[in-house]
């Protein structure tokens, strides 16, 4: 299992919150290299979302089950084959991973998780090691600058797109990484349209947690994918959008 910085310009400042004393610090590791600490930082550590997850990483898994639902359904919609090459953008601590790995062949299938938070990736790495998954690669990268140099059969954003200010660029970068015939699924918070007076409260609370629900995500996805299928759940609590790349065009 490898954790790597995909772009040498992108470095991550290692920081360990005193509350998070239940494990080893994050490491970056190439397959045949000894573990090493992530290097001192430049621009990635400046974002508000990264600072947020520096302190949230240690409580993420024990708290988010209350609010982040439907990941299994989202992964099902990717229609993975045993030998699929799959990518999760904004993978966080890897809570989605098991739904992929129960479908992928350990030898022929492969999962790549991308996140720009070293603290979240460190948690993901622990999960991968503890589960004995040998076909998972973790990459530290910004979704808006993604350039992995290969394409994937299946790409998932789960509860990550709404946290990315330059989200439209992230969609374009994802599309550029999608094989013709491949599927992209966005599973995220909706606009709470059916929640009456509770809707604005939910949207405000999420905004305070760096989640913006009211951007035109579906308009953009509809421009990129002529065949977009969208399902809204629980009165607009969340949505799942599925697009299939038809040809080798440039998207929109």
Ligand X SMILES: C[S@@+](CC[C@H](N)C(=O)[O-])C[C@H]1O[C@@H](n2cnc3c(N)ncnc32)[C@H](O)[C@@H]1O
Token output for 252: 């929109």
**Min separation Cβ 43 and ligand X, Å:** 12
Strands 238-244 and 178-189 come out as antiparallel
Distance in Å, CB of 220 to ligand X, minimum: 16
Rounded to the nearest whole angstrom, what is the least distance from the CB of residue 144 to ligand X in the complex? 5
- Give the C-alpha separation, 44 to 33, whole Å: 24
**Alpha carbon separation from 202 to 61, 68, 125, 158 (Å, rounded):** 21, 13, 32, 18
Choice between 180 and 207, CB closer to ligand X: 207
**Minimal CB distance residue for ligand X:** 92
Nearest to ligand X of 125, 142 (CB atom): 142
The smaller minimum CB distance to ligand X, of residues 188 and 243, is found at 188
Q: What is the dihedral of CA 115, 118, 120, 122, to 10 degrees?
A: 120
> For binding to ligand X (CB under 6 A), which residues are involved?
49, 53, 64, 68, 71, 90-92, 95-96, 115-117, 120, 142-144, 158-160, 163-164
Per DSSP, helices labelled H in the chain are 48-63, 71-76, 97-101, 118-131, 167-176, 198-208, 217-224
CB of 80 to ligand X, least distance (A): 16
Rounded to the nearest whole angstrom, what is the least distance from the CB of residue 53 to ligand X in the complex? 5
Query: Is 154 or 247 the residue whose CB approaches ligand X more closely?
Result: 154
With contact defined as beta carbons under 8 Å apart, do 181 and 151 qualify? no
Q: Between 58 and 68, whose beta carbon lies closer to ligand X?
A: 68
């Amino acid at each position: 299992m490898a954790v790597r910085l995909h772009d040498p310009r992108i470095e991550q400042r290692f920081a360990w919150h005193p509350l998070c004393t239940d494990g080893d610090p994050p490491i970056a590791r190439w397959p045949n290299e000894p573990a090493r600490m992530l290097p001192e930082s430049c621009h990635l550590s400046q974002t508000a979302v990264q600072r947020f997850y520096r302190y949230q990483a240690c409580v993420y898994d024990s708290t988010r089950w209350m609010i982040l639902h439907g990941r299994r359904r989202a992964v099902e919609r990717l229609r993975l084959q045993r030998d699929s090459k799959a990518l999760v953008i904004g993978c966080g601590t890897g809570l989605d991973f098991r739904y992929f790995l129960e479908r992928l062949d350990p030898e022929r299938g492969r999962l790549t998780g991308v996140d720009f938070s070293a603290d979240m990736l460190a948690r993901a790495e622990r999960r991968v090691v503890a589960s004995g998954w040998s076909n998972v690669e973790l990459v530290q990268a910004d979704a808006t600058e993604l350039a992995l140099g290969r394409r994937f059969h299946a790409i998932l954003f789960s509860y990550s797109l709404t946290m990315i200010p330059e989200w439209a660029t992230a969609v374009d970068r994802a599309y550029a990484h999608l094989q013709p015939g491949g599927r992209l699924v966005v599973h995220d918070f909706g606009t709470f349209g059916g929640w009456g007076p509770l809707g604005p409260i939910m949207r405000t609370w999420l905004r305070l947690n760096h989640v913006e629900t009211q951007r035109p995500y579906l308009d953009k996805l509809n421009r990129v994918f002529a065949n977009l299928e969208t399902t809204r759940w629980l009165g607009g609590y969340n949505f799942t959008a599925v697009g299939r790349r038809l040809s080798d065009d440039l998207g929109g």
